[in-house]
Structure 1
C-alpha cells in the first residue's frame, strides 16, 4: 500500500516532474481538485490529457502492412503471392506503409483506459468521461495491458505530450496490476512500494534537472576506486548507480532517494537506526567517488517521510566525507516540499560553513 502520508495531489506533481510535463496545461485545475482514490487521479489525468490529445490529433506513424490486393501497392511479396496462390485469383500479396493511429503509444492508452473503466476504483462520472474517449480510439487495436513493451515506446518532439500519459499508464499497469481472483479481476487500491520508489527517485532527479541545471544533475554510476596492479575479477564488482548526483565547483553530492514503508530499522533492543545497508551503500559511493581523498564528495539518503515517531535525521563526517539521512514530507503542501528540496543543495557547501549559517 502507498503510505497515506503522501497527499494524492502530490502524486500528480511527482508524476508531472518525473515525466517532464510540469508545464502542461490544466495542471493547476487538477491540483485544485480533491481525489479520494489514486485511481480517480490517474483517470482524471487521462481524461484531460487524452481529450486534449484528440483535439490536437492522435499520434500517427507509418506502420508496415501486408495485404492481398488486386492492384500493386508498395512492394510485391513474391514468396507469399506464390505460397497463397493469389495470382490464380488475380491478386498479389503486397507490403506497404500506412500512416495511421494504430501505434503502440495509442494501443497502450486504449488498453489502460479500458482497464480503469472495467476494474479501477474510479468515480462513475470519470468512468463515463473515459468511455466518451473510446470512440476516438476505434481504429486502435485493444491489447492486453501486460503485453505492452514500455521500454520500446520512444518519444520525440512530435509525441512529447504522450510522455506523462504513458507514464500514468505504466504506473497503472505495473503498480496497480490486475489480480485474478475466482471469477473476477480487480485492481489493487494503491501503488506498490517498488513502483512508488521508482517514481520517487525519478521525481527527485527531474526536480533538480528542471530547477537547478547549474548543478549538472544526473544519475551517473560511481566507479570502484581499486588498485589496478593486483586487481582480479573486477568484472564481478556490482555497479554503483546513483539516483541523483549534483555538482558545484569541486564539490559533489550523491543523493539516494528511498521510499520505504519503514524509513528506519529497529534493532534487537528496540532502538531505531538508519538502515545499515543504505548507510553502507552511501558510504561506499562517497568514498569511491572521492578519488582525491579531500572530502569533496558528500552523500545524502533522502527518505520519504512516514507516520513513525522516529525519522532519519543524521549528519556526520565519516573518514572525511559528510554522510547524512533526512526525510522529505510528501504529505505537506507543495510549497513546503519544494522548500525541503531547495535545502538539499546546501550540502554542496563545506560542512563547517553550512553549520554556521
Structure 2
C-alpha cells in the first residue's frame, strides 16, 4: 500500500514510525543537538535500513570534515632506528640485530581506533546486506576511502560496552548507537547460510532503546525532576528477616521526583500490550501490574501515598489498549500507552502528560 499499511482498523504510516526510531536514538544516545537532525526528521523512509544508512552518511561525512577520531595506539615493529622502548627479549628471539634492526614498542597517533573500526564494519555491512536504496549505498561507498587506514573487523566481534566517550569523540555516540542497532539486527538466512539484516530490529533491542529513550527524554527536558533509574530496596522488617539475599532486585526504568512525590515509570515494549483470558476479557498483564505495585509500595517508606507507579507501553494496533488509573492501598497505579506511530509533536505531548502524574497526585 505504498507508504501506508492497514493494521486492524487503523492506517499505519510506516515512514512516521521509522523516522521516530531516529528521534528515539538521538535521545537515547544523548545526541539531541546533533547536526542534521531536522533534515532527517523531515524525510520519509520506507525501510529502517534506509534511515540508519542516511544517519551514517550524514554523520560520518560531517565527522570526516571535522577529522576522524584518533588515539594513541600501542605498536610493535622491527625498526632500523630506536623508537619508543626496545623490546630486548623479542629482539633476541627474532635475531633482529643480525639484520641491523631492533624490535621497538611505541605509541602511534592513528585513526585505526575501535570506534572507527565499528563505523567502517557497519558501513560495509549495510552496503553488502542492508535493505538500502542504490543512491544511499553509493553514498556509503564514497565514505570508505576516508577509512582506508582503518581495519575492517567482523561486526560480531565489536565490544560495544568497551567503547568510551569523552569530549573529543562525543559526536560518535549517536553514530555508534546506530551501528550497534544494525549489528544487533543480524540474522542468518535459512537457505544459503549467508548473512542478511533484519527488516526491523528485534523486540528485545527495541525494548532497550525504548527504555533509554524515555529516561533520556526526561533527563534532557526535565532535569528538575531528577530523572534516574534507581533500584528500589525491599521494605522488610530487619528484626525478623531471614534469607533476604534471595529477594530479587527491583530496578526501575525511570523515576521522576518533585518535592516529596515520586513517579516510577516502567517501560514496556511488547507485541501484545494486553493479556486476553480464555473468555475474551482483555486485562493488563498480571506480572506487570504486580511489579509496578511492588515498586510503589516498597518505595513509599513513609506510607503516605507519595509514590505512584505507571506502566508505559509502546502502543500497538490492537483494538483494546491499556488505560488504567486507580488508587490501590493509597498509591496511584496506572497503565497507558505511548503511540510511536504519531508525529513527534504528538509523542512529546503524550510524554509531557505523564509528568502531570506528579502534579495530580492526591497527596
Structure 2 length normalisation: TM-score? 0.94
- Specify the alignment match of 1:196 in structure 2: 206
Q: Which of 256, 262, 282 is residue 272 of structure 2 equivalent to?
A: 262
**What is the SS of the residue equivalent to 1:268?**
coil
**TM superposition shift of 1:180:** 4.3
Structure 2 residue 346 is the aligned partner of structure 1 residue 316? no
1:304-342 deviation digits (Å, cap 9, x = unpaired) = 110001000000011111000000011111111111000
1:262-291 deviation digits (Å, cap 9, x = unpaired) = 111111211110011111110110011011
**TM superposition shift of 1:351:** 3.6
1: CA distance, partners of 2:362 / 2:296: 18
2: CA distance, partners of 1:41 / 1:28: 13
Range with greater deviation from structure 2 (82-91 or 246-255): 82-91
1:172-203 deviation digits (Å, cap 9, x = unpaired) = 011x1142444332111111110110111111
- Specify the alignment match of 1:75 in structure 2: 85
Structure 2 residue 114 is the aligned partner of structure 1 residue 92? no
In the TM superposition, what are the counterparts of 1:32-181 in structure 2 within 5 Å?
32-174=42-184, 176-181=185-190
Q: Which of 227, 232, 238 is residue 228 of structure 1 equivalent to?
A: 238
Residue 247 of structure 1 contacts residue 253 of structure 1 at CA under 8 Å; is this kept in 2? yes
1: CA distance, partners of 2:72 / 2:321: 53
Residue 179 of structure 1 contacts residue 188 of structure 1 at CA under 8 Å; is this kept in 2? no
Residue 9 of structure 1 contacts residue 35 of structure 1 at CA under 8 Å; is this kept in 2? yes
**What is the SS of the residue equivalent to 2:132?**
coil
2: CA distance, partners of 1:38 / 1:203: 17
- Specify the alignment match of 1:13 in structure 2: 23
1: CA distance, partners of 2:154 / 2:246: 38
How many residues get paired? 350
2: CA distance, partners of 1:313 / 1:95: 64
Flag structure 1 segments of 5+ consecutive residues without an equivalent. none
**TM superposition shift of 1:77:** 0.8
**TM superposition shift of 1:350:** 4.5
**What is the SS of the residue equivalent to 1:217?**
coil
**What is the alpha-carbon root mean square deviation over aligned residues?**
1.3
**TM superposition shift of 1:349:** 2.7
2: CA distance, partners of 1:82 / 1:231: 65
Structure 2 residue 33 is the aligned partner of structure 1 residue 23? yes
**What is the SS of the residue equivalent to 1:221?**
coil
Residue 266 of structure 2 contacts residue 312 of structure 2 at CA under 8 Å; is this kept in 1? yes
**What is the SS of the residue equivalent to 1:71?**
coil
**TM superposition shift of 1:261:** 0.6
1:38-92 deviation digits (Å, cap 9, x = unpaired) = 0000000000000000000000000000111111110111111111111222211
Which 4+ runs in 1 deviate beyond 4 A?
Answer: 3-6
1: CA distance, partners of 2:279 / 2:361: 32
**What is the SS of the residue equivalent to 2:68?**
coil
**What is the SS of the residue equivalent to 1:240?**
coil
Q: Which of 355, 358, 363 is residue 348 of structure 1 equivalent to?
A: 358
Flag structure 2 segments of 5+ consecutive residues without an equivalent. 1-6
In the TM superposition, what are the counterparts of 1:286-297 in structure 2 within 5 Å?
286-297=296-307
1: CA distance, partners of 2:40 / 2:49: 14
Residue 257 of structure 1 contacts residue 302 of structure 1 at CA under 8 Å; is this kept in 2? yes
Structure 1 length normalisation: TM-score? 0.96
Q: Which of 202, 207, 219 is residue 209 of structure 1 equivalent to?
A: 219
